[in-house]
Amino acid sequence: MAYAERFKAPTSLSEKEFTYCPGCSHGIVHRLIAEVIDELEIQGKTIMVAPVGCSVFAYEFFDVDGTVAAHGRAPAVATGIKRASPDNVVFTYQGDGDLAAIGTAEIIHAANRGELITTIFINNAIYGMTGGQMAPTTLLGMKTTTTPYGRKENIEGYPIHVSEVLKELSGVAFLARTKVTTPQDVIKTKKYLKRAFYAQLNNIGFGLVEVLSTCPTNWGLTPIESMKWLEDNMVKEFPLGVYVDKVGDVY
Amino acid sequence: MEKAEKVMVKGTEAIGEAAIRAGCRLYFGYPITPQSELTEYMARRLPEVNGTFLQAESEVAVSNMIYGAASTGKRVMTSTSSPGFSLMQEGVSYIAGAELPCVFVNVVRGGPGLGDIQPAQSDYFQATKGGGHGDYKLIVYGPESLQEAVELTIRAFDVADKYRIPVLLLTDGLLGQMMEPVKFPSFKNLNTLPDHSDWALTGTKMQREPHRVTSFDLDPVKLEKMNIQRHEKYKTIVKKEKLFEEYKLNDAEVVLVAYGTMGRIVKSVVDTAREKGVKAGVFRPISLWPFPYEELGRYTENAKLFFTIEMSFGQMLEDVRLAVNGKKPVEFYGRTGGVVPTPGEVLAKLMELV
Ligand SMILES: Cc1ncc(C[n+]2csc(CCOP(=O)(O)OP(=O)(O)O)c2C)c(N)n1
Ligand code: SF4
């Protein structure tokens, strides 16, 4: 593929400028999703469900039909859309506050039903949009505006491992945890995203890709420091890899 | 079920069948007494008509599933009872904000809290004055019989589609559990249902600009504009969609005001009162929002007294007072906690008042 061809904006991204801070992973992940939608040629039948959080505008960044769910309820909204129109491809895009706190029930049950939807789960260990409060994924000892002395297990409990919890559910067809801090990771993440969509397109089951992500703004670090902090701290707590893959080797 | 014949059915089943005949092919629900039979009916019946039934993990999820399904422009409904409807309020507010058509049924039971499973009318405020956050309205219907419940269910889908607004059938366990002969209309041809292709989420098919269904805009001026447009629509609904019944009101000196099953009970009270020489009649609001204020208010000219009867501490009472506007006295009688006032006790109270 020629250089210019490879780096032109994916058709599935809209013209709208991203609202994300410099160094935030949301932007990279958006682009990867759009590339996958383009390559799978599903743009015309894709419906996106945006969350509440920094990516609340995500439905405007993709050139597909879309809506915004209430905080945490994207899997339920996506279930309603998918059940009403099974021919469409439906994906949710959710942060850790959205998916792992207020929306825990919705994600577990959608995954367990094997709902034919795809979820992109952005784990940045913090609430971005509301200004850096503790998320369920916040690391022990990590300072946030609501854990100013650091998260303590005897007060706030432990960081929740979403992929490890979901991998036990029979409805899950594809599940992986990844990051986008290096070019290799980016390539791998795109492959995972594709498989998660394949799980839906081939009626195999629920697909989720958890992406360890940066929030330079609320971590109080530069973009480069953030990447390093993620590598040094988050990867230890949240092991990377493919947790479930029932998609088969046709792809 | 033949279309023109009357058949004996249970309340919850009458509503379910009416919804299916109205073209509803999607139901999301969660069991709660006294309406679980409606959920069960849909579980049995929808697969027979190629429809979709799903029991959700909670009422919170239900209302958000309804949001999703309604955003595709298809006819969708749920039913629940009071504590369940409280949980659904999150979705109701978002649905109202995003202006999506769908139908909710609340078979009200005694509250607050877990309350009991007996019939009540204590969710009137929640139904008609909001319940979720924000400035929004639902069209709310209170049927008095199964036949009326069937007709209002079908109407509910039609007005929901016409105005892009959620519609609520507010009923209670008494109606839900009773059996009555009902005449069902024939099945709607799904191809003739209103076309929502101008806004619904169906995928662009690479032939149009993306559709975006949301309830929000972070720009206050734009959000206000959205809200104003919605309120303009509400004004049209107030003008055009009021429903009520007037029973023996021509010469009435006492106007009994009651809705739903209570409206039905007080009709027999009025019959007996008239035998005793009391000129009484019943004004029964059928649409609880929009409430027929002017229509009820007109009776202040000839009536001496208004008498509101409810299965609550007096919630519709406030709307009756607004309609009467201080021109005549408004008395009240109510029982709560799932106790249904008997015609005898309402009559005794009426005779005390006159
Ligand atoms: C019911 C409800 N509770 C709280 C909020 C406030 N809120 C908005 S975004 C957010 C946190 C989002 O964090 P996360 O999902 O991690 O996404 P991020 O902003 O980090 O991308 C919260 C608590 C809300 N909008 N709705
Ligand atoms: S606040 Fe954090 S998560 Fe939100 S856009 Fe900025 S960097 Fe990204």
On the question of pLDDT at B1 being above 60, the answer is no
How many residue contacts between A and B have a Cβ separation below 8 Å? 135
Whole-model pTM: value is 0.96
Closest CA to B73 of B157, B141, B138: B157
From B238, B269, B286, the end of a domain falls on B238
Report the C-alpha gap between B26 and B78 in whole angstroms. 9
Taking every pair of Cα atoms in chain B, the longest distance, rounded to a whole number of angstroms, is 73
Closest CA to A174 of A160, A191, A187: A191
Nearest CA residue ID for atom 8, ligand 2? A24
Question: Which ipTM score applies to this complex?
Answer: 0.95
CB contact under 8 A, B206 and A43: yes
Report the C-alpha gap between A84 and A44 in whole angstroms. 17
Report the C-alpha gap between B267 and B260 in whole angstroms. 11
pLDDT of residue B353: 97
Nearest CA residue ID for atom 20, ligand 1? A128
A171 CB neighbour count, 10 Å cutoff: 17
Give the gyration radius of chain A's Cα atoms. Answer: 17
Do B154 and B14 have their domain in common? Answer: yes
Residue B330: C-alpha distances to residues A85, B303, B316, B323 (Å): 51, 11, 12, 10
Residues 6+ apart with CB under 8 A from B246: B281, B282, B283, B284
Share of chain A above pLDDT 90, in %: 95
3-state secondary structure A44-56: HHEEEEECCCHHH
Of A43, A44, A78, the CB nearest to B68: A78
Residue A213: phi and psi, rounded to 5, are -135, 165
Do B113 and B10 have their domain in common? Answer: yes
Q: Which segments within B137-278 are labelled E, that is strand?
A: 139-141, 166-172, 179-183, 212-213, 244-247, 254-257
Report the C-alpha gap between B202 and B219 in whole angstroms. 27
From B183, B208, B238, the end of a domain falls on B238
Q: Which residues of A touch B94 (CB under 8 A)?
A: 69-70
Given a contact cutoff of 8 angstroms between Cβ atoms, the answer to whether A44 and A88 are in contact is: no
Q: At what angle do helices B36-45 and B11-21 cross, to 10 degrees?
A: 40
Do B234 and B283 have their domain in common? Answer: no
* Residue B329 lies inside a defined structural domain of this protein: yes
On the question of pLDDT at B3 being above 70, the answer is no
pLDDT of residue B2: 46
Closest CA to B123 of B296, B324, B313, B306: B313
pLDDT of residue A4: 75
CB contact under 8 A, A80 and B64: yes
Residue A251: pLDDT band (50, 70, 90) is: low
pLDDT digit string (tens) for A49-91? 999 999 999 999 999 999 999 999 999 999 999 999 999 999 9
CB contact under 8 A, B201 and A109: no
pLDDT digit string (tens) for B306-349? 999 999 999 999 999 999 999 999 999 999 999 999 999 999 99
Do B233 and B146 have their domain in common? Answer: yes
Q: Which amino acid is at A211?
A: V
pLDDT digit string (tens) for B45-63? 999 999 999 999 999 999 9
Do B73 and B98 have their domain in common? Answer: yes
pLDDT of residue A1: 61
CB contact under 8 A, B70 and A66: no
Decide if B24 touches A, using CB distance below 8 A: no
Given a contact cutoff of 8 angstroms between Cβ atoms, the answer to whether B76 and B157 are in contact is: no
Q: Relative to the alpha carbon of A53, which ligand is closest?
A: 1
- Count structural domains, chain B: 2
Decide if A171 touches B, using CB distance below 8 A: no
Under DSSP, is residue A170 helix (H, G, I), strand (E, B) or coil?
coil
* Residue B208 lies inside a defined structural domain of this protein: no
Do B180 and B277 have their domain in common? Answer: no
Could you tell me which chain B residue has the CA closest to the CA of A64? B210
Instruction: Determine the atom of ligand 2 nearest the C-alpha atom of A21.
Output: 6
Decide if B226 touches A, using CB distance below 8 A: no
Residues 228-257 on B with a CB inside 8 Å of A are: none
Given a contact cutoff of 8 angstroms between Cβ atoms, the answer to whether A178 and A230 are in contact is: no
A78-91 core/surface letters (b: 16 or more CB in 10 A; e: else): bbbbbbbbeebbbb
* Residue B219 lies inside a defined structural domain of this protein: no
Looking at per-residue pLDDT, the higher value among A251 and B69 belongs to B69
Decide if A170 touches B, using CB distance below 8 A: no
Share of chain B above pLDDT 90, in %: 97
We report the CATH number of the domain holding residue B260 as 3.40.50.920
* Residue B300 lies inside a defined structural domain of this protein: yes
Residues 6+ apart with CB under 8 A from B112: B122
Report the C-alpha gap between A185 and A64 in whole angstroms. 26
Do B152 and B290 have their domain in common? Answer: no
* Residue B337 lies inside a defined structural domain of this protein: yes
Q: What is chain A's mean pLDDT, rounded?
A: 96
- DSSP states of A125-162: SEETTTTSEE-TTPPTT--BTTBTT---HHHH-PPP-H
Residue A18: pLDDT band (50, 70, 90) is: very high
Q: Which residues of A touch B212 (CB under 8 A)?
A: 59-60, 65-67
- Point out which residues pair with B45 in neighbouring strands: none
Q: What is chain B's mean pLDDT, rounded?
A: 96
Instruction: Determine the atom of ligand 2 nearest the C-alpha atom of A20.
Output: 5
Report the run of H or E that residue B310 belongs to, with start and end. strand B305-310
On the question of pLDDT at B246 being above 70, the answer is yes
CB contact under 8 A, A81 and B68: yes
Closest CA to B18 of B189, B157, B178, B143: B157
From B210, B238, B266, the end of a domain falls on B238
Cα-Cα-Cα-Cα torsion A106, A109, A114, A115, nearest 10 degrees, comes to -30
Match 């000129």 to its residue by tokens.
B279
Distance of alpha carbon A183 from the chain centroid: 18
* Domains in chain A with CATH codes: 23-243 (3.40.50.970)
Closest CA to B175 of B126, B127, B118: B118
Residue A6: pLDDT band (50, 70, 90) is: confident
Please tell me if the CB atom of residue A218 comes closer than 6 angstroms to any atom of ligand 2: yes
Residue B77: C-alpha distances to residues B23, B24, B30, B111 (Å): 11, 7, 12, 24
On the question of pLDDT at B300 being above 90, the answer is yes
**What's the CA-to-centroid distance between A226 and ligand 2, angstroms?**
12
Share of chain B above pLDDT 70, in %: 99
Given a contact cutoff of 8 angstroms between Cβ atoms, the answer to whether B109 and B338 are in contact is: yes
Q: Which residues of B touch A52 (CB under 8 A)?
A: none
Do B150 and B286 have their domain in common? Answer: no
On the question of pLDDT at B280 being above 60, the answer is yes
We report the CATH number of the domain holding residue B155 as 3.40.50.970
Do B275 and B233 have their domain in common? Answer: no
- Point out which residues pair with B26 in neighbouring strands: B52, B76
Mutating to test ligand 1, I would choose from A21, A57, A130 the residue with most ligand atoms within 8 A of its C-beta, which is A130
Residue B340 domain boundaries: 245-350
Do B127 and B9 have their domain in common? Answer: yes
Given a contact cutoff of 8 angstroms between Cβ atoms, the answer to whether B95 and A69 are in contact is: no
Report the C-alpha gap between A66 and A99 in whole angstroms. 18
* Residue B206 lies inside a defined structural domain of this protein: no
Given a contact cutoff of 8 angstroms between Cβ atoms, the answer to whether A95 and A54 are in contact is: yes
pLDDT digit string (tens) for A95-147? 999 999 999 999 999 999 999 999 999 999 999 999 999 999 999 999 999 99
Do B70 and B172 have their domain in common? Answer: yes
Q: Which residues of B touch A73 (CB under 8 A)?
A: 60-61, 64, 67, 90-91
Q: Tell me which of A15, A57, A79 to substitute to probe the interface with B (most B C-beta atoms closer than 10 Å).
A: A79
- DSSP states of B80-129: E-HHHHHHHHHHHHHHHHHT--EEEEEEEBS-STT--SSB--TTHHHHHS
Under DSSP, is residue A33 helix (H, G, I), strand (E, B) or coil?
helix
Do B19 and B127 have their domain in common? Answer: yes
Report the C-alpha gap between B321 and B327 in whole angstroms. 9
* Residue B210 lies inside a defined structural domain of this protein: no
Cis status of the peptide bond prior to B47, with omega within 30 of 0 = no
Q: Which residues of B touch A78 (CB under 8 A)?
A: 68
pLDDT of residue B223: 96
